[in-house]
Structure formats: structure tokens, C-alpha cells
Structure 1
Amino acid sequence: MTARAVPRSPGRARVYRGVRRAALGTLTAAVVTMPFVAAWRHETTQHTVSARIPAAGPEAYPWTSDDDREAHAWAPPADPAHRSAPVVLAYHDIDPERTSAYTLTPAQLDAQLSALQAAGYRALSTEEFTRYLTTGRSPAPRSVYLTFDDGTRGLWTYADRILARHRMRAASYLISGRVGTHRPYYLSWSEIGRMARTGRWDFQDHTHLSHSRAAVDAAGHRGSVLANRLWKKDERRLETESEYRARVGHDLDRSLRAFARHELPRPRLFAYPFSGTEADGDRAGRDTTTLERLLRERFDSTLTNASAGRLPAGPRAAAAGQVERLEVLRTTTRSAFLEQLGEWTSRTPGEVPEPLRHGGQWRFSGRAPGGRLAALTGEGLDQGTYVSGALLPMATANWSTYRVTARVDRLLGQDSSASIEVGHGSPDPLFLTVSKTGLRVTERPGGAARRVTARRRLRPSTGRTVTLRVTPKAVRITVDGTTLVVRTTRRPDRARTDGGLSLAVRNERADTDWPRFTSLRVSP
């Protein structure tokens, strides 16, 4: 028997049609409203304001008055007429949970700001800092410029009230395309607006959406999308220079438009993603020249934690358009923070008159035993034939006019020598090397390979007294009381020639004593 369909009654058909119409209506409404719901959620996220956590008083932290007195004692004696260059400090997130090496707890930030206050440092605004780069004049005897990369919510929730308690200012470097996203990690635009209205914060640039890494060659090596031409996998080639320029320029311009759209002042400074210029080797895709040109077209200067040369705030950094920052990490201890701050605080030649008495002021390359100054003053090396040490490289980076007088002995034949470098860290350093029978001047103009530019025969002697008088225009060299060489600076531009000094000793024979510096005086 063939089965036949059972006819629906008129009532059941009407009910079925009604249910179907209702379902279709609901679906249609969902489809129509979905974009509006998504937009509402996006807008809400963009403008959410998180609760701020009150800053605890100093009694809540273990680093209190005794340590502040220690900071006073640490502070190097200042020349009343000298105003140090600002030290730029690089922070990231602030959160009670130690989420990464870049996250400081509120207690750590509070303790560090307390130490800065105790040592007499004032926190500058971006306007004051950029004015310093232009004029070379700091508004305070000692100052810092506090920068926070990425624009994280912890700045509003925790850092703002700590800044308020210490009456300090700071700058947040925003990834503008991520504002209001990945909540609650990034700041919202409403939080940024409230921070701006406090007067404690200003906002600078950290790209729009170029704070990421991608493939930069066929092997799949990854690099900063800002600093590298990217590998186009489908076409098996690198971006062209024009494609790279267009992509990066578009990202930077989108960021500037985001600032304008949210009524923030146009940013004057730019911080490189990943805290540096992404010096990831000599990959074919790196295009730093084009990137520097794009940044110079839009910003007064850039900030990095890894400059190619020593570029603390000063004339050389301003000319290079790039300032090096001191990065502060979760693992940065109290003693390390104070020590690094002291190393970076600029000093005049008169503030380091007898450097051989202060081993902690020297930084060594090579295999100095334990990094001790004794390697230059007589102990030498257990292994190797050469050792060099630089005097406070960051604190002396902007010296331009000074005099160095040194006494060297144990110059035993052509197998041993001692050297003094002036303009250390600059593109145009000068090296004076003395031996038992002569002197040699070596230069490296514009960062080129070192080459000998002067030689002099000297009366044989195992000891020498050497004086170098350094000015922006020339270096005058005197040995044993007689002026023998005057080297005119090829580029009489302070921004290129500034720099401090280093010492070196060489001994090719294991059976003889090492040459040694017995005295060293530095004066204005």
C-alpha cells in the first residue's frame, strides 16, 4: 500500500506560517542589528574608564626614609653652574601582578620616584624635554624624562596617582591602533582623555599598528614590521623600497590622524617598537635609512633603548635625531637603579678630577680581571695582550672642552704601549698611543676604519707624561712637556666630536710587567 501525505488542517497551517515568519523576523533582526551591536561594543570598549587604585603612602613600602637618605649620599656633588642633561627612563606596564619582565609593581615605581625626589631630580614634560634638545638648556639642575611604552591600562589604574603623590610628569607612548582593544590591557580613549586633563601626562607616538613582527626573508626569520621590508610569500620576494615607504608612511600618518581625531596635541617624539631600532643583523630587508627619513619628516626626534652609539640626551643625540633611554625592568634592584642613574647623569670634567681613585666609574671591554681598574694600573691580564676601559661613557658623552693629563710607566720596548682615547663614543674619536721610543696618533673620521695620521720619534724612556687639550676645533698633544702634535678637527661640529675618554694598555710579552697608568687628571 502506498503511503499518502496527511493533509494539514487550516489551523495548523496558519500556526506553521506564523512560527516561520517569527523565526525569519528574528533572524533578519539579528543580521541587521549585528553590526550595530558590534559597533556599540567597540565604542563602549574604546571609552571604558577603569577604576583607579589609590596610591599607598610611603609606610606601605620597604624603601622609605633610610633609603632616601642613601640616595642623598649617593648623589654625586654637582657643580652649581652645571645643569645635567635629562636622563630618559623607559618603563612599560605597572601592575601588582608581575606579569612579565617589563611590568613593575606599584611599589617599585613609587620607590623609584621617591629615590629620584631624594636625589634632587625633577620630571620633565615632553615640551620641556624637546626644548632641551633644541636649546641644550635644562630647566632644572637634575632632571629625568619618564616614558611609558605601549599605553597600558596600568598607567591610569596605578601609575597616575603615584605620579600625583610625587608631583611628577610622564609621557605615554601610544600604539594608537590598539587603544581600547584587548581590554583590560590597553588604555581606552576616555582614560587617555582623563589622564591628559590631569596635566601629569602627555601622549607621544609608538606606531598605529606596526608594533609587531613578521617574516622578513624566505627562510621565515621574523623582524619588526616597522624597521624591515617584509617578505611577500605569494610573490616570493621582498617589498620594494617604494612599497615599504608607502606602508610605513601610511601607518605613521594613521597614528597622527588618531591623535588629531581624539583632540590630542600632535606628538613630537616617536619611540621605536620593541624599545630599539630592531638591529636584527644585516638582513636584506632592513631599511633604516628610509625609516629614519620617514620619522624625521614627522617627529622632532626618536627614542630607543639601543642606539648605534652612546646617545644620551645632548648635542650628539639631537643632531642624530635619536636619544637613548635607560630601560627599567622588574628585575632592576634598588642599588642597580641608583647605580645606573649615577652612570647616566652627565658630569663636567671638573666633577671627575682623579678617575683612577674611583674604580666604579670605569667600564671595561676585553678580559679585565673582574672588570677592575687594576688592569690599567699595573696588574695586567692573566690571558690576552690588550685591555681598555672607558670613564663613565654615558655621563661624559657630551664633553667638548677638557684637558687630560696622564703619567705612564713600564714602557718596556716595542712590545708594550699605553693609549688614551678622546671623543670616546663619537663618530670622530682620536687615539694617542705612546711607547718607549715614540708616539702614534690614530683617528677614525666619520666612523671609518682607524688609520694612523701622525707619528713621532721620542727619546727612549720607560715613562711618559702626556697631556691632551681637547676643544671642538682641535686636539693639542703634549708629551714630556713638549707640544708635538695638533690635530684640527675635520668636522668642527660639537654634535659629532663630543665624547669622553678611555684608556688602554698593551703587552705582547708574558715575561714582562704590564705598562701602567700611575696618575690621571681631568680638568675643564
Structure 2
Amino acid sequence: MTHFHPLRRHRTREGARALKRNRPAGGAMHKGRGAGVALWVVCLMLLVAPFPIAFHFYHRDVLPPRLGTPAADTVGIDLAGNGFPAGSGAAPIVLAYHDIGTDSSSKYTIAPEEFEAQMSALDAAGYRSITADQFLSYIDGANVPPHSVLITFDDGTSGLWTYADKILERHRFTAVSFLITRLVGTNQPYYLTWRQIAAMQDSGRWDFGSHTQDLHHRVRSTPAGVPGAALTQRKWLPEAGRTETHAEFIARIRADLAGSIDDLTAHGLPRPALFAYPFSENETGDGDGTSQDASTVVHSLFPVTFVNNAPMLTTSRRQSRNGVVNRIELTDTDTPQSLLDRLARTTTIPITDDIDLANAARWTDEAGNIADITVDGRTVRLAAPSATYARAAFAPRKTADWVEYTISATIAGLDPDANPTDTIAVRTGSPEQILVRVSRNFVTISRGAFSATEPLFESRLAASDRHRVDVHVGDRSTDITIDGTPLFSQLVSGPTEAATGGFTFAGDRRSTADPFAPFTGVAVLPDAVS
């Protein structure tokens, strides 16, 4: 390529002679040429000077500054995390954020000052963050510190570097960012760059997971179809005039997910084990099994996945066995107090010998609503004045990981004329749920849901208006003792981590004019102190 040079001269013989003829005496020509050279240099410098500056600010390998946010106080906030009994919050709770930034109309962008206030509240309330590896260890059976949270961010926006990182550093918190890897470094300065990601990884505060390579958008399965997530819905192929086949769909999403893994590892990051579903759409109800097949592909590559679906379920190993963990999603309407309140509602309850049974809000009926019961000390009475059947589960979401405990109660009021029956169920919500149904002179033991049980054992009892029932929930078996006599033991048939759960009381009566038989002397004893 030929480049223009301002000082280039003709070097022909004729040009040299002409130059010599026209050169002024006394060196005037030399002085004039020097002035011209200087003028050219000044012009050239003015022309190119902006480019190094622009390169410095816009080159993706140069780190922009992290911005500080003033520390927030917690005056006026009810620090609920400090009010839980010892052992509460054994299961970590997962928080889901998107972006931290200013001047945004999106509800998913939280102002830096508000994020700082929320992190200050978490810190002051005694919560601590855990890493991706610690969360995976919890799913595999390890314990994490009480009141642990896994802080996550979807999409991989630059607000994580600019604002969130310094706030996390101040509170000694860690976080996980789920990246749409093909968008990294694009649409600057909206998305993170690989250089920022590397610095975040090196800080020890950040782990990175997949949010797909490039499937965070919606597609139509027919020209007039309703748009759905590209990860869980087959798309219309306009050039072919048809919807992609199931095989094409599987190949497309598998290639994308594998590509996201390759993108992360190619930039020196560990292979991701965590995945967040775009739009939280892991099940679309498509009717043809497409979303279920997509989930199968996802889980073949990532052992743990995340969604933000209501109602928020307490994190538990049992709930996470299908590979899907629900998160608390935070938006710009959340405050430090609302965050702590939401955490309190999903904090697990420990197995203790002084458990608070009187909190009526913890008891739920078969529809998941607050159960109609009364609790007087250690006596639980089913109410339901217009029904002949009632059920009350004790905090089923908060006790989903319960195991190695004994639930005891005396079923009283077994009147021979009214002939009521009561049921104590353990491992509530699991496929290994055991139901012990007791009447005045008979016991039936079964397994499964209340609506479809598998009979296991039945026996006559000495007729009495009360029977003491002790049910021990062990790691490998459920053992039933009635009136001090060991009566039956049932081994867990499936994975033990799927066989955990708390307890449920249920009652039948002949008519609404007859009372339900009360559960008296109710006690819960963990194996450690039994």
C-alpha cells in the first residue's frame, strides 16, 4: 500500500535542478522548510491525538473503574435473621438479581444504593454468602453454615463490575454470575467483557455459570404462534416453511449449551456446574414433551439449575433432587426489610425438643392454606367445623430435609360411639411418606400420598379411648411404636435424600356434630437428644 507522506520530495534529476535554481540565498529555503515541517507535525498530532484516548476507554481489554457506593446503615430495619432459634436456616436460600445500575426504567435494575442497603441488612442480620462449590456440596449432603445465602445474577451485565463488586467486597460476600456467553463483550458498555470477568474470577468473590450461549430470546413454533423461550420451544423455520423437527431442536440446544461451556473454559474459567434457565422457563406445558426433553439435555450438562418461580419454596436437598432450585427474585420494588421478611418466610426450621407448635401460620391444610387448628401447649386440635375430614401439615416446606427424629403424640378422645380416627404421617411430601392411622381398637400403616396409599400393615389394638404413638424417622427406616410396643418397621426403598420430611396430622369423624380426636402431649425429639 502507498502511504501519503507530507515530506516526500521528487527525487528526479530535473526536480533536483529546479530545486537548486529556486533555493534562496543565505539558507532561507531551509528555514522555510523547517517551518512547514513543524506545521505538518502539529496538524498530524491534532489529527491522531483523540485515537489513543478513545482506544483506552473503549478497548475491551482495558478495565473501566469500579465505582464505590456509600455504606448504608440498618436503622429502622427489623433484623429478623437474628431472631431465629439455634439451628434455623440449615438450608441455604438462593437470591436472584439481574443488574445493578442507575438511570434505568427496567424493574430488574436495582440502584447501587439500594443494593448496598440490602447487603448491609443481610450482613447485620447474620447472613453469610456461600460459593458455587459450597452450594453443590450442600446438594450432595454436606452442611453449610446456618443462614447462608447464594447470591446470583442473571445475564452478565457490566453493573456487576461497576457497582456490585465493591459492595460485595465491603461485606465479604461472594456471588455467582450466569453469563449469556455470546453476548460477553458486546453492546458496550452494557455487558461484561472477558477481561472484567477474568478480574472478577481472580478476586475470589465470583463464580460463573451458564445462561446459554445465545438462547436468551423467544421464538415462534408457527408463523402465528405464541413466542416461547428458544431453549424450551421448537422454532419455525421460514426458509423451510415448517417447524424444526424434534431431532433438530435437540441438536440446536445441545450445541448451544455445549458452546456456552466451551466459551467459559476457553477463557480460563472452570467448567460451569450451575445453569439458570432463560425467563425461568424450564416447563412450558407444551403438551408434546419438548420442554421436558430440553430439561433432560440441560441436566445432562449441569447438575444444578435455577428458576425464579412463585411461590418461593424453601431450598432443600429433596426439592433439589430433580436438579431445579427455586430462587427469590429481587426487583426494584424490594427493600432491605422486604428482603429479610422474604428470607424469614423461607428459612428452614431445626429439629428441636422445644419446637414452637403454637405458630398457626406454620400449619397448612391439603390445599396449602393456613390450616384450621387450635394449639394449646402440646395439644393440637383439628377444627374445620363444616368438614368431617381435616389435615394439618407442620411447616412442610421448612421441614422438607427433616430426618433422624421422633414425633410422639397421644391420640385421645377415641369415643366408642363417635369412633373417630387420627393419622400421623411422617416424611411429609416425599414418595416415602408413611401414614399411621389409629382408631379405638385398630391401626393401619400405609405408604404414599394421602390420596393414594399402599397398605403395609394392619393390626388390632387393645380397645382404649387413647393410644400413645411414637414414630421414629431414621435415615434408612421408619419405626412405629404404639403404647410402648414396637409394632412395625419400614425400610426406605428409594434414595434416602428423597425420603426426608416433617410430619402431618389428619383426622376423620363420623359427622360435624362429633369432635375430632385431639393430639395431646405432642413432642418432637431429634435423635441427638432422644
User: Where on the TM-score scale, by shorter chain, does this alignment land: which range?
Assistant: 0.7 to 0.9
How big is the shift at 1:155? 1.9
Q: 1:458 aligns with which of 461, 466, 486?
A: 461
1:481 equivalent to 2:490? Answer no
Deviation at 1:265, TM superposition (A): 2.7
CA contact (8 A) 2:81 2:147 kept: no
What amino acid sits opposite 1:374 in the alignment? Answer: T
What's the counterpart of residue 427 of structure 2?
Answer: 423
**Deviation of the 1:170 alpha carbon:** 0.6
Q: Is the 8 A contact 1:311 1:322 kept in 2?
A: no
Shift of residue 209, structure 1, vs aligned partner: 1.5
CA distance in 2, matches of 1:98, 1:410: 63
The Cα shift of 1:204 comes to 1.0
Name the structure 1 match of 2:225. 220
Higher deviation after alignment, 161-170 or 144-153:
144-153
With normalisation by structure 2, the TM-score equals 0.76
Q: Which residue of structure 2 lines up, in the alignment, with residue 341 of structure 1?
A: 343
Change over 3 Å in CA distance of 1:238–1:67 after alignment to 2: same
Contact 1:228 1:285 (8 Å CA) reproduced: no
Q: 1:427 touches 1:496 (CA, 8 Å); kept in 2?
A: yes
Match of 1:188 in 2: 193
CA distance in 2, matches of 1:97, 1:463: 67
Conserved? CA contact 1:172–1:202, under 8 Å: yes
Aligned partner of 2:84: which letter?
A
Q: Residues 94-243 of structure 1 correspond to what in structure 2 (within 5 A)?
A: 94-96=100-102, 99-134=105-140, 136-138=142-144, 140-216=145-221, 220-230=225-235, 239-243=244-248
Q: Aligned to 2:87, which of 58, 78, 88?
A: 78
Q: In the TM superposition, what is the alpha-carbon distance from 1:382 to its structure 2 partner?
A: 4.7
Instruction: Rate the CA distance shift 1:371–1:497 in 2: closer, same or farther, 3 A.
Output: closer
Please give the alpha-carbon distance, in whole angstroms, between the structure 1 residues aligned to 2:360 and 2:130. 32
Superposed CA offset, 1:332-386 (max 9, x none) = 4555533443454444422x63342333433444386x65642993361254444
CA distance 1:99–1:405, shift in 2 (3 Å): farther
Alignment deviations for residues 410-465 of structure 1 (CA, whole Å, 9 cap, x no partner): 456678433222112323222223334433323229x9953333333334545432
CA contact (8 A) 1:346 1:395 kept: yes
Match of 1:495 in 2: 497
The answer (yes or no) to whether the contact 1:71–1:115 under 8 Å persists in 2 is no
- How many residues get paired? 468
Q: 2:96 aligns with which of 90, 95, 102?
A: 90
C-alpha deviation, 1:173, in angstroms: 0.7
User: Match of 1:451, SS?
Assistant: strand
Alpha-carbon separation, structure 2, partners of 1:96 and 1:309: 28
Aligned to 2:475: 472
Alignment map for 1:15-54 (pairs within 5 Å): 52-54=66-68
Amino acid aligned to 2:359: H
Distance in 1 separating the partners of 2:327 and 2:399: 16
Q: How big is the shift at 1:96? A: 4.8
In 2, Cα distance between equivalents of 1:152 and 1:390: 42
Aligned to 2:355: 354
**Counterpart pick for 1:442 among 425, 440, 446:** 446
Question: Any idea what SS the aligned residue of 2:149 has?
Answer: strand
**Deviation digits for residues 381-402 of structure 1, max 9, x if unmatched?**
2544444333333432222211
Following TM superposition, by how much is the alpha carbon of 1:226 offset from its aligned partner in structure 2, in angstroms? 1.6
Task: Rate the CA distance shift 1:46–1:517 in 2: closer, same or farther, 3 A.
Answer: farther
Q: CA deviation at 1:489?
A: 1.9
C-alpha distance 56-216 of structure 1, shift in aligned 2 (>3 A): same
Highest CA radius of gyration, 1 or 2?
2
Instruction: Output the TM-score relative to the length of structure 1.
Output: 0.76
Q: What is the CA distance between 1:295 and its match in structure 2?
A: 2.8
Q: C-alpha offsets along residues 296-342 of structure 1, whole Å, 9 cap, x if unaligned?
A: 4433422234599967253x466543333333344445555334434
Distance, in Å, in 1 between the alignment partners of 2:125 and 2:290 is: 42
* Distance (whole Å) between structure 2 residues aligned to residue 482 and residue 490 of structure 1: 24
Structure 2 gap ranges (5+): 1-53
For the 8 Å contact 1:310–1:425, the answer to whether it is kept is: no
Quote how far apart the aligned CAs of 1:112 are. 2.9
Q: Does 1:258 align with 2:263?
A: yes
| Other-structure match for 2:50 | none
**3-state DSSP of counterpart to 1:157:** helix
Say which structure is richer in helix. Answer: 1
* Aligned-pair CA distance for 1:270: 1.1
Counterparts of 1:131 and 1:226, CA distance in 2 = 27
Q: 1:202: how far off?
A: 2.0
Q: d(CA) in 2 for partners of 1:453 and 1:502? A: 19
Whether the 8 Å contact between 2:418 and 2:514 is mirrored in structure 1 is: no
Task: Decide which moves more: 177-186 or 264-273.
Answer: 177-186
Distance 1:313 1:478, change over 3 A: closer
Sort the Cα spacing of 1:378 and 1:391 in 2 relative to 1 into closer, same or farther, 3 A.
closer
| 1-structure distance, mates of 2:387, 2:187 | 53
Secondary structure of 2:167's aligned partner: helix
Tell me, yes or no, if structure 1 residue 374 matches structure 2 residue 367. no
Q: Write out per-residue CA displacement over residues 183-222 of structure 1, whole angstroms, 9 at most, x where no aligned residue.
A: 5543333433343343322211111122233335797244
- Structure 2 CA distance, aligned partners of 1:253 and 1:296? 12
Amino acid at match of 2:261: L
Instruction: Tell me what 1:400 maps to.
Output: 403
- Secondary structure at the residue paired with 2:520? strand
Distance 1:97 1:331 in 2: 15
| SS of residue paired to 1:280 | coil
Which amino acid in the other structure matches residue 57 of structure 1? A
Alignment partners' CA distance in 2, 1:272 and 1:93: 17
Among 53, 77, 91, the alignment partner of 1:67 is: 77
- Given that 1:90 and 1:328 are in contact with CA atoms closer than 8 Å, whether structure 2 keeps it comes out as yes
The sequence identity of aligned pairs, in percent, is 33
Decide which of 510, 513, 522 is 2:512's aligned counterpart: 510
Q: What is the distance in 1 between the residues matched to 2:405 and 2:382? A: 28
1:325 maps to 327
Task: Report if the CA contact (8 A) 1:309-1:426 is conserved.
Answer: no
Q: Which amino acid in the other structure matches residue 243 of structure 1?
A: E
Matched residues in 1 for 2:389 and 2:335: separation?
A: 33
Q: Pick closer, same or farther for the CA change 1:360–1:328 going to 2, 3 Å.
A: farther
Q: Contact between 2:419 and 2:440, CA under 8 Å: does it hold in 1?
A: no
